[in-house]
Amino acid sequence: MLLSALLGGAASARPVAIGGVRQSAALDSRQFAGGEALAVWTLPRLGVAVRNDPQDLRLQFTRQQVTRELRFSPQTGWRAVGFTLNAKLPLPELAGGSLFVPLQALTLLGVTVTADAPDLLDFAAPAQVPAETLPPSPTTATPASPVTPTPSPAAVTPTPVTPSPALPAPTPPAPVPPAPTFTPVASLGTVRVSRALHRTVEVQRVVLELNVPDARLVPLTVTREAAGLIVTLPGVSAAPVTQKLESGDQLSVQPTATGAAVRLGTGGGRSEIFTLDNPARVVIDTTTYTDTRVPPPINPDALAPGVTYRQQGKLHLLSFDPAQYQTRVVSAPAGRTSGVADLVRSVGGVAGVNGGYFDPASSLPVDLVAVGGLMTAGSLEKRATLGVTARGDTLFGYPRPRYVLSGTDSQGAPFSVTVNSVRARPAPDLLTAFVGDGRSSVGADGLTTLYAAPGSGAVLRALTGPVTPPAGTLSFTFDPARYPHLPRSAGAPLTVSLNWRADAPWDGAVDALSAGPLLLQGGKVVLDPAREGFNTSASIWRPTRQVAFGTLGGQPTIAYLEHGSPETFAAALAGAGLRDAVRLDSGSSATAYVTGGYADLGGYLNTVWSRSVPNALVLVPRPGTAAARR
């Protein structure tokens, strides 16, 4: 039953399996008028040695120490060597640059078909895969049983006639590529293709197997084109092949006067070429970002040293070796937003996650932001905050930071005053602070503005009226009548300090970011929305994409939950073994990014693009470490 089905041909082309393993679509059979057929270049995978030449085709198969061979040429038709050919075989067919032979030929050679179903053609795995291309047929052939070829209806050869003077001569057949005129140092054997899709990033590998002990014997060259590349293999013999791959890329192999040329049309994908030995191979890895509407995923096999990725269900974790990386708060220019990846790249970071809540209309943070010891946004003084020390250690808690100005007045009396607010807008009854952005104006008629710096010990400049502090300049604005003890001239003694007023030691903090709620403390869930002033019936508490920053095994860790409520998130983090964690702005802002990825596209834990944000927590290499030298 199996043999008769194979001889009769299938109703349509079918996928091919070898030893029960389904092969690439490039190996699918093809349907012609004479029946179902396979490309000659695929037959070595079935254990058939071949000479892939339409003028001198050879198929040779050895089974149980018995060798059978079929030969074909346009002059003699099919001929059998080592057995008697009693069946009429359809002619070989040329399609898409590949030469195809009927399945009946494989059956006559003794190739075993283990399963012949309407939707699959499964061959037995061969004992070995032939490594060499068969040489040309001997001029004096081994006695063979000739069979007069019976052409298929689609490949009938017209009877030659002598044209009359009044009729044009018949069109000559297309020229066949000439045989190489060089002495080959190697031959191109099997071409293997694999493809994997990671979210919307396609990774394709083409392996050219060379029948040579060492790939270095073939000094290949690579020519890149706008839509692909050409690999030139000098001294390598090859049969012509053209194939459309499963990815849609076009692969062609053509013999040249000095070797072979392999052209891969990638349609804009990024390709890397390298060689491997034992056996000798040329490998072409092509990465194509197929849909830019979806963020590219992380590549767990291409993470920077000291970066670890874990996944538990819908929870994803990126952890960082604290000996190699430290956390920083990185902000976009005041009143602007930026993509997290851009904020990471701006400071040479390796990864980052979006920061705290902000007002979409103004792009300004609504809670504490401190960078490098300067408080750029004031604190609501009630929500969970992440702090970072100068050494890069992380702190979790509820600080209520304020600037404190101290010194001695003009009468020599000591003073200490707490700054009321951090903002650009002046208020005659308040002492306000602001870190200049180079654009925003502070002060007003009748008000004094002092430029100062933490640790400087003196006033840098004293100005009256509206002024625009340079970017990064710390300024204090006040009404001299209400604060007569504050200095009003440059050089006057003034000490500026940042009092964290925290429930734990925060004196070493230089960066800080408030968000909330605090999810874990000491490995236990401590979620308390009422303490932090969260409305659990509002959208901020809805189940959505969640992000957090915490510690796992002493390592700073970015956490991303695909979907869930804050309660679900806290429970998942505790179950994963995190010690401390604070939730960051989630939902449409949730972004967790790491450098590297497939073809250096970078990778995201979030599967949808998120909006740009005013700040982020970024992991940067510690100076002097291997990570910093990368």
- For the chain, domains (ranges, CATH) are 2-154 (no CATH), 186-289 (2.60.40), 300-395+506-629 (no CATH), 402-499 (no CATH)
Q: Is the pLDDT of residue 149 over 60?
A: no
SS3 342: helix
Going by pLDDT thresholds of 50, 70 and 90, the confidence category of residue 314 is very high
Residue 25: other Cβ atoms inside 10 A: 15
Name the percent of the chain lying above pLDDT 90: 67
Q: Is the pLDDT of residue 15 over 60?
A: yes
Give pLDDT, residue 184.
83
Cis amide leading into 160 (omega within 30): no
Mean pLDDT score, 504-528: 95
Going by pLDDT thresholds of 50, 70 and 90, the confidence category of residue 68 is very high
Cis amide leading into 279 (omega within 30): yes
Beta bridge partners of 121: 16, 116
478: closest CA among 435, 527, 444, 509?
Answer: 444
Mean pLDDT score, 472-498: 95
Antiparallel, parallel or unpaired: β 474-478 and 369-371: unpaired
Beta bridge partners of 77: 73
- Whether the CB-CB separation of 310 and 573 falls below 8 Å is answered with no
- What's the rounded Cα separation, in Å, for the pair 325 and 350? 9
Mean pLDDT score, 406-427: 92
Give pLDDT, residue 153.
37
Q: Is the pLDDT of residue 165 over 90?
A: no
pLDDT in tens, 355-365: 999 999 999 99
Give pLDDT, residue 225.
87
Residue 345 phi/psi, 5-degree rounding, is: -65, -30
pLDDT in tens, 388-406: 999 889 999 999 999 999 9
Mean pLDDT score, 418-445: 94
Q: Is the pLDDT of residue 451 over 70?
A: yes
Going by pLDDT thresholds of 50, 70 and 90, the confidence category of residue 435 is very high
Q: Is the pLDDT of residue 148 over 60?
A: no
pLDDT in tens, 218-227: 889 999 988 8
